[in-house]
Chain A
Amino acid sequence: MKKYKITISGMHCASCASNIEKSLKKVPGVKNANVSLMLKKGTAECEDSVSEDEIKKAVKRTGYEVSNIEKE
């Protein structure tokens, strides 16, 4: 298990945050995802096999950009 911490740009409404969460959770291997509109940040807990790129792609799919990603 690992945890990605992402900073997301372009979010501006509550459904944005919930869209990103949904999209992240659809990535195979992602167990839990949490996005905060207030902080413009999110976390994704996932299996070790999930790559940074997959996380970025999942965010991008919903129309937002990942401006920073770190592994915890």
Chain B
Amino acid sequence: MKHENHEQPIEDEEIKSWKKKLLFSWLFTIPIALIMLSERIFGFSVIEMPYSTITILALAFPVLFIFGWSTIRSGMRGLFTFYFNMDSLIALGTIVAYLTGFLGFTGIVDDYSGVSAMIMAFFTTGKYVEAVARGRASQEIKKLLELGAKKARILKGKSPGDDSGEPEEIEVDISEVKINDILIVKPGEKIPTDGIIIKGESSVDESMVTGESIPRDKIKGDNVIGATINQDGILYFKATKIGKDTFLAHIIKLVEETQSEKIPIQKLADKITGIFVPIILVLALLTFLAWLIFSNDLSRSISVGIAVLVIACPCALGLATPTALMVGSGMGAKKGILIKKGEAIQTMKEIKIIVLDKTGTITKGKPEVVEVYPKEKKKNLFEIAASLEKNSEHPIAKAIVSYAESIGLKKYKEVKNFKILRGRGIEGKIRGKSIVIGNRTLMNERKISLKNFEETIKNFENSGYTTMIISENKIVLGAIAVADALKEDSIEAIKKLKEAKLRPIMITGDNEATAKAIGEKVGIYEILANVLPEEKANKVKELQEQEKKMVAFVGDGINDAPALKQSNVGIALGTGTDIAIESGDIVLAKGSLMGAVQAINLSKATFRKIKQNLFWAFAYNVIAIPLAIAGVLHPVVAEIAMALSSVTVVTNANLLRRTKI
């Protein structure tokens, strides 16, 4: 983590250095321009010949060889080592132009030495603007880098439960925090690193790392993420991860890796940039020779040759993809969408089918009481049900107990003769009355008549709910429907997926009826039911082969890792630190299906931007270079066009931010 901290200054320094070069270049170039203009336009010389040429040569010298020295040096080195770069073009163009100043005395050629300074001045200007725009393109990522806390407060010497005397708090640098240190965070403070709460409760704003806008309530035993903001309570927590193992560090690493990854569409552009400069060098030479032969005008030939050198710009091509990718992945990171494989951006637009795992993706992944049908009072029903269920560890029992607590039940009745009837329910005695809780099979077994409840229970079952019937001395007291509830935004998300012309398919280990019921609710009518976890990847493969279409898979990333891998684009959902970063091409820090919709929109928008950029970059070179060869562009105009082309590409990438995702 440490070495990444000086990342930003490098970029800032680059901007600063170009700014300095730009200011000084113009300081010397403006007088040159005035001298040249007065001669050309007004027909008189401010300074008599040959003194004007000497003045221009003197003024242009520092522009090229002091302020432009880094460019000239790098360009020349490129020419000599055959690692040609774009500086080679500028260096050659400006030096040739500058030298004509000396030849100018002989009268063989026109003097272009002033032009050399102007080219360099415009070049530095273009580079400066480009550096600023590039800096803007990475602003979200820079914010991520700066997000981490700098200081932490450690509780030393005492255990947090110990209230005798003042606990000793020491403020330390974040790098000094060790695993298992107890840290204290006051309201409004940044949580310094990842950990688990051991005392206190509060709500925590995690929007900066998960994109989840609503603060999450945290109590003892909950995980906290470093760099998130503690809202209103004091939290004591034990550091579980530090330095480059933290969630934030993982996110940063992930985003950076995406940045340096090449996506397929870029390959052609890269191939071209690799051979671009030598080709232009040859083209410029040929242009010069052709003009010399056909026009017999040495000055003109030199001018056209220079224009060809300086108009060609591999930068626009080279920047087209990475800048758009940078803006796109930055936008995603801000919303908790981590694009792990840059390639996914390109593949996404080909996706036709989206397979959604049910448990944990469409639904919350743990059962909840969804409906209650009591004979008398709901509270009475739960008093009996929860007292019994409290003795069981089954997820359904837990759901019933937690519901009972949520409606204000605190005291439970004493249960005797408690027994678990595997796969059917439980039974026990409360104040001598025999209580049986379970499914229809159990009720039939015990010959308990369902009478008035028959219709309700049928409805529950048809909705795909697990139905628990509560009876006391063989009389039914009510029914509780338990189900894995839908996530709040699943219905909307699936609607959006359909609007995006994607075919949603739900995959689940549930039986056909339950699966259908859930599918019906969220609007998915294609269902793969009874699929064992290890068969999910095969199902994805079958779809890919049978339908001959690209398939995306959305799952929780833990059980679904093979299916995520098999799919063309795997989207892994997670909540907070629980996300499995390794699986999935796109990882969502917030566990909602809406995040998947956003990820799809973002990928498509980013890819559109990349295509746009590449188109303009290619078009620019395809149009500009022939124009320069044809001799219709003055070298200074050519240089301005070149500078504009790369600035345009970077600016266009920044415009991606306007897209709503």
Contacts and interface: CB of A to CB of B under 8 A. Distances in A.
A40 B322 CA distance: 12
B83 interface: yes
B260 A14 contact: no
A62 B277 CA distance: 14
A17 B505 CA distance: 43
Contacts of B261: 34
B422 interface: no
A70 B1 CA distance: 12
B83 A38 contact: no
A13 B260 CA distance: 15
B84 interface: yes
Given A14-B315, A38-B326, A68-B3, A9 B10 contact: yes
Interface in A10-69: 10, 12-19, 22-23, 34-43, 61-63, 68
Contacts of B318: 13-15, 17-18, 37
Contact of B317 (A14, A34, A36): A14
A57 to B, nearest CB: 13
A19 B256 contact: no
A38 B152 CA distance: 32
- Size category of the B interface is 35 or more
A7 B3 CA distance: 10
Contacts of B83: 19, 22-23, 61-63
B134 interface: yes
B356 interface: no
Contacts of B259: 36, 38-39
Nearest to B77: A63
A7 B86 CA distance: 21
Among A19, A34, A41, residue most surrounded by chain B Cβ atoms (within 10 Å): A19
A63 B78 contact: yes
B16 interface: no
A12 B260 contact: no
A63 B14 CA distance: 17
A62 B85 CA distance: 9
A14 B137 CA distance: 16
Contacts of A19: 78, 83-85, 274
A62 B81 contact: yes
B514 interface: no
Contacts of A63: 74, 77-78, 81, 83, 85
B84 A15 contact: yes
Interface in B243-260: 256, 259-260
Interface residue range, chain A = 20 to 34
A70 B3 CA distance: 10
Contacts of B536: none
Contacts of A39: 138, 256, 259-260
B322 A36 contact: yes
A40 B138 CA distance: 12
B127 A18 contact: no
A23 B322 CA distance: 21
B223 interface: no
Contact of A13 (B11, B14, B81, B315): B315
Contacts of B84: 15, 19
Contact of B314 (A13, A23, A35): A13
Interface string B117-141: 0000000000100000010011000
B230 interface: no
Contacts of A38: 134, 137-138, 259, 319, 322-323, 326
A42 B262 CA distance: 12
Contacts of B260: 34-36, 39, 41-43
A2 B451 CA distance: 71
B24 interface: no
A15 B10 CA distance: 20
Contacts of B77: 63
B322 A61 contact: no
A34 B262 contact: yes
Nearest to B87: A13
B74 A10 contact: yes
A13 B10 CA distance: 15
Nearest to A63: B77
A15 B86 contact: yes
Nearest to A22: B274
A14 B10 contact: no
B301 to A, nearest CB: 26
A10 B17 CA distance: 12
A63 B3 CA distance: 23
Contacts of A35: 260
B276 interface: yes
25 contacts: A12-B87, A13-B87, A14-B317, A14-B318, A15-B85, A15-B86, A15-B274, A15-B318, A16-B86, A18-B274, A22-B274, A23-B83, A38-B138, A38-B319, A38-B322, A38-B323, A39-B138, A39-B260, A40-B10, A41-B256, A41-B260, A61-B83, A63-B74, A63-B81, A68-B3
Interface of B: 3, 10-11, 14, 74, 77-78, 81, 83-87, 127, 134, 137-138, 256, 259-262, 270, 273-274, 276-277, 314-315, 317-319, 322-323, 326
A-B pairs, top 7 by smallest CB distance, nearest first, are A14-B318, A36-B260, A13-B86, A15-B85, A62-B83, A19-B83, A18-B274
